Each structure stands twice: as structure tokens, then as C-alpha cells.
Structure 1
Amino acid sequence: MRAASLAIAVASACCFGFSGPMARFLGAAGMSPLEAVWVRMGGAGLLLIAALAIVRPRALRIPRDRLLFVGAYALVAVAAVQGLFFFVITRLPVGIALLLEYLSPVLVVVWARFVRRLRLGRSAYVGAVIAVAGLAVVVEVWDGIRLDTLGLAVGLVAAACSAGYFLMNDAFSDDDLDPLGLIAWGMAGAAVVLLPLARPWSIDWTAFGRTATVDGHTLPVLGAALWLVLVATIVAYVTGVIAVRRLSAAIGATVATLEVIAGAVIAWFLLGERLGGAQIIGGGVVLAGALLAQSAAARPEPGPAVQLTPEASVAG
């Protein structure tokens, strides 16, 4: 059971890894990063809602007492994670921005220990730190580093929102909220939130009928967009939520750091981008951290202060 859950988490990270390469083809077609994000969120939300309305309409029902949670999920776990990252890369190198966002595993284990009062095995803490250290090597944070106070501050907020994604996926009951419905409404809600920033009415929609070339590799723009929506978003989020709910937020967040490695490998195969020694060594370190973290088991602290229910975790 645990092995299957880990396989789902790794599959999610690999699917997320297609995000960057596919988005590059949309960028080559003339779309800005935020426009590509809006196409991704809006397309995924629309397709999921349409599919669920046909095959599983009950999944789209949101209890009245869960409306605020779903709204927060769309705003924090989806829209903010995407939107803030693209703001940060305007102020800091992409490698630093990625490293800041993927501080989330450390934030999740700290939350689990001190807010939810779960006793995590030492391997959970050590594994999260090792994974983040490995990412620092992968993205080569020392290359062209520059400090920007606002960029760093917003990057830390993005990391907190990313941690919120994992914590919120672990903070509801299947009895009152269907995970697929949560993802569908989360994507649709994020598209609405990003509407004034992405300004999709400015997109050249005729580009979807053309091809785009990146580093000598050509793909139909529509094909790249569909892969981004179906695989790098819908499949990635669905498997990610399933993995977190089976493994816990702390372990799921650490295993998710493999996304950066997966993205580098996919870009290597798909676009011919070079994998340097730092990426290979750092990837091994990230993998070691993820494997170490997954061996941890969470136990509640004894005593009256224990808060174990999903509601308690949200309130905390």
C-alpha cells in the first residue's frame, strides 16, 4: 500500500515536470507566462467540471460549510502559488525562485510538528532539509545570485502558499468534499482570480492553430497546450492529492520536490537541454532526501493538546 502511494506521488511529480517544457512552447507561440498559466488553469477547470458533470455530478457538490475552504484552496493553493512564482522570477533568478518555493517541505514538517502536534520521525526533518539542499545544487543558486528584498519576501510567501497546498489537501474528509470536485473548482476559481492579471482577452488565440519551435524542436501549439492541461495539470493534481492523502502532507511535500528533477530530465529528452554535473549530483541528493523522508511515520502527541481532525488542522 505504501509503495503504491509513493509510486503515485512520484508519478505526480513527473507529470508536474512537463509544466515548464510545455509552457515554453506556448511562450514561443507568443504567450506571456501568466497567459500560459491562465490557459492551464482555465482549461483544466473547464474540462474537469464538464467531465464530472457527466460521469460524477455528486463530486461537484460543495457543502455550504465548505465554501470558504474551497475558495481558500483556489486562492492560496492554486492561484497564489502560480501567480506569486511568476512575480518572483521578475525580481530574482529562476533558480532562487524555485528554491524559495520548494522550501515548502520544511514549512510543512514544522507545521505538522508544532501546530498539529504530530511526532514525526527524525528522517522526516532530515529528509526535507536534504531535499531542499539538493534542489539548491540542481538550480545552481550560486550562479548569478542577487538579492532583492521584495523578491525574497514574496518568494517566502509563495513557499507558504505551496505548503498550504499540501496541508489543505490533507485537511478535509472525503465524506463531505470530493477531492476531484475540490480540484475542479480550485482550478476554475484560480482562473477567475488570475483573470485581471493574465488578461486572457489579449491572447492571440489563432496561435493554437500553428506550430511553435523551441531549441530546434517543433510541436503543434494546441498539442502542447492539451498536454499541459491534461497531463501536467489534471493528472498531476489528481495524483498529487491522492498521494498526500495517503502519505501525509509532510511526506507528500518532500517527494514533490522531485518535480524539478523530472522537469530537467524531460527538458533533456524533449528539448535537448544539457544536464550538467550539478543537476545530476543535486538530483541524487533530492532523491535521497525524498527516500529518507518517506520512511518517517507521524504519531500524535499524547495529552489533551492533540488536534487530529481535519477541522482542527485547518483551525490551527
Structure 2
Amino acid sequence: MGYLLAVAAAVLFGANGSVTKIMMEAGLSPAQVTQFRLLGTAIVAGLVLVVVDRAAFRLPRRQWPVMIVLGIVGVAVLQATYAAAVQRLPVGIALLLEYTAVLMVALVAFFFFKEQVKTRLWVAIALVLVGLAVVARVWSSELDALGVVLAIGAAVCLAAYFLIGERQVAKTSALAVSFWTMTIATVFWSFVSGWWELDASVFTQPVDIGGVGGELVVPMLLPLLWNVVLGTFAPFLLSLAALRFLPATAAGIVASSEVIFAFAVAWLWLGETLDVVQIVGAAVVLAGVILAQTARAGKVVDADLALTTGPITTVRDTAVP
């Protein structure tokens, strides 16, 4: 059951990159897509907290500075850079680059926090570097350079969130962290997203979601709702549910399959393809990420929870009864 829940979360999140790309191709900017996603997820998380944990709305004063940093860096900037990267890169490659945050977390934990790491980390570094060079085809520079920078910037934001969050917000529930960081990010992004330039007609604006399968026009509201509910909040809940049945390491490794699903959905739906060499490179990077995922003693970055609703703290690698 745990693996089924984790895979379902990975499928939904992997597909969401393509949904995001379709909305931007229909006319929304990365900033506007980010604004809608942040606001919608904050509202959904808040409604759930009203039912299950109203105490979460009383945030201790000492946690406000950390939450503000997490909301701005780990959610607002993360989501915006990822959306912008997806606009310029194939969906799978953008997500693959963002997943290098797992490697960054392990390196910073080792060099700056003096954590013990397993020797496989150094193998993981070599795999990721070689794999990324192959995916990017550095000998011919085929990938959009700005898109690569944006995706790596998203990885840095994600890594920063984990490194701050696991030390400062460990006693706050994942749902509460999601609500507060999303709310803070919404307020921050509202000043620069250009939402005031849109009118209500944006929700009924026709969007072709048919992809390579042919024309299928729906109102913009439909992919927007998918982006918030099925692309963000549902994977978050499924990931939490999976942790009731799986050790954190197993859940984190299954979450890495999001990259595979992102490639698959973008290929089947949007017609985005990689050549054989790039596919091999992507597989090498993913192998390195999985090794890095298991390199820290007793901890694992559950990137699935992070990338769906804004990162939450890392979790101990213990089975949940």
C-alpha cells in the first residue's frame, strides 16, 4: 500500500510539469502561474487545517523569521524558478536538474554541519556530474543556458529550504508548514507577479490541452485547478500517507521516480523527446540522486513532499507504524 501511494504521488507530480507548461504556452507568465499555485494551495491547506488542526494557525513568535525565509526562498523563489525553467527546457530535464538539491543537501551537511555521510556520496557526485554533462550535451550546447541556470537556482532554493527547515521547524506539522510558507510566499509574490494585469476572463480563456493527440480546448480554470489540487495538494497528502507504511528512505527513492514520469508524460502528451544519449545521461543522474538520497546517516530528503507543496523538513529514516 505504501509503495502504491508513493507511486501515485510521483505520477501526479510528474504530470504537473506538463500542465504548468501548457498554461504558460496559453499566455500566463511563470510569475502568474506561480501566484495562482501558491494562493490556491494556501487556501486548500488552510481549509484542511480548519478541520484537522486549528492550533496550527497560532504560529509561535520565534518561528516567524524562519517561516518567512522558508516561504520566500524555499517556496516563492523555488516555484518561480522552476516554472520559468519548465518554460525554457523539456519538463523532465528541468525537474532532473532541480532534483540535484538532494546532492547539495548531503554536501552542505558534510562540509558545513560535519555530519557523517556514507562513501557512496562521492560516487553519487561523479554520477550526477557526468550524467548532467551528457544530458546537457555540453559538447554542442543544445540546452537553453538560462533555463539550466533557472533550474539549478531552483535546486539551490530547495536545498536551502531543507537545510534550514530540518533544524528549525521540526516540531511543526508538514501541513502547517505548507500552509504558512505558501501563505507567506503568496504575499511576497503578489507584489511582482502582475496579477493586477489579469481580469476574470482569464479563467474562461480557451486552452488547448490536447498536445500531440489533437486539439482539446478547455477553459483555463481547468488546468489551474489541476495545478493546485491534483498537481500539488493531492501528491502532498499521498506522500504523507505513504510514510505511514514505508521507511523514509524507501519513500524518498520512490519519489525520485517523479523524474521518470515527468519525462514520460511530456513525451506522450507534449511530444518532448530526448535522444538516446540524453536518456542514458538522465538515467545516470537519477542513479546519482538515489545514491545521494541514502548517503546521510539516518536522514533522507523526501523531495516529493517538498516539490509538491513547498518543501517541508527532512524526516528520520525509521519505519512508521
- Shorter chain as denominator, the TM-score bin is 0.7 to 0.9
> Which residue number corresponds to residue 225 of structure 1?
224
Identical pairs, percent? 30
- Separation in structure 1 between the aligned mates of residue 52 and residue 172 of structure 2, nearest angstrom: 17
Distance between the aligned counterparts of 2:7 and 2:132, measured in 1? 16
Query: Aligned match of 1:80 in 77, 80, 90?
Result: 77
Report how far residue 194 of structure 1 moved. Answer: 1.0
- Tell me, in whole angstroms, the C-alpha distance in 1 between the residues paired with 2:114 and 2:6: 24
- Give the TM-score, by structure 1 length: 0.73
- Contiguous gaps of at least 5 residues in structure 2: 300-312, 314-321
Partner of 1:264: 263
Q: Please give the residue correspondences for 1:1-316 in structure 2 after superposition, counting only pairs within 5 Å.
A: 4=2, 12-85=9-82, 94=89, 101-131=98-128, 133-138=130-135, 140=137, 142-144=140-142, 157-172=153-168, 174=170, 176-214=171-209, 215=211, 216-218=214-216, 220=218, 221-237=220-236, 247=248, 252=252, 258-298=257-297
Q: Tell me, which stretches of 5 or more residues in structure 1 are unaligned?
A: 301-309, 311-316
1:162/1:256 CA distance change after superposition, 3 Å: farther
Q: Measure how far apart 1:8 and its partner are.
A: 6.7
Q: Which residue matches 2:316?
A: none
Give 3-state SS (helix, strand or coil) of 1:212's partner.
strand
**Residues 86, 40 of structure 1: alpha-carbon distance in 2 compared, 3 angstrom cutoff:** closer
* Structure 2 SS opposite 1:62: coil
Deviation at 1:182, TM superposition (A): 0.7
Superposed displacement of residue 240, structure 1:
6.4
Letter in 2 for 1:270: W
The letter of the residue matching 1:38 is: Q
Which amino acid in structure 2 is aligned with residue 37 of structure 1? T
Asked if the contact 2:124–2:289 (Cα under 8 Å) also holds between the matched residues in 1, the reply is: yes
Conserved? CA contact 1:211–1:218, under 8 Å: no
Change (3 A) 1:202 1:81: same
Equivalent-residue separation in structure 1 for 2:226 and 2:29 (angstroms): 18
The whole-number CA distance in structure 2 between the counterparts of 1:19 and 1:97 is: 12
Alignment length (residue pairs)? 290
User: Aligned with 1:72: secondary structure?
Assistant: helix
With structure 2 as the length reference, what TM-score do the two structures score? Answer: 0.72
Letter in 2 for 1:267: A
Equivalent-residue separation in structure 1 for 2:132 and 2:13 (angstroms): 16
RMSD, aligned α-carbons = 3.8
Q: Which letter maps to 2:166? A: D
CA contact (8 A) 1:29 1:207 kept: no
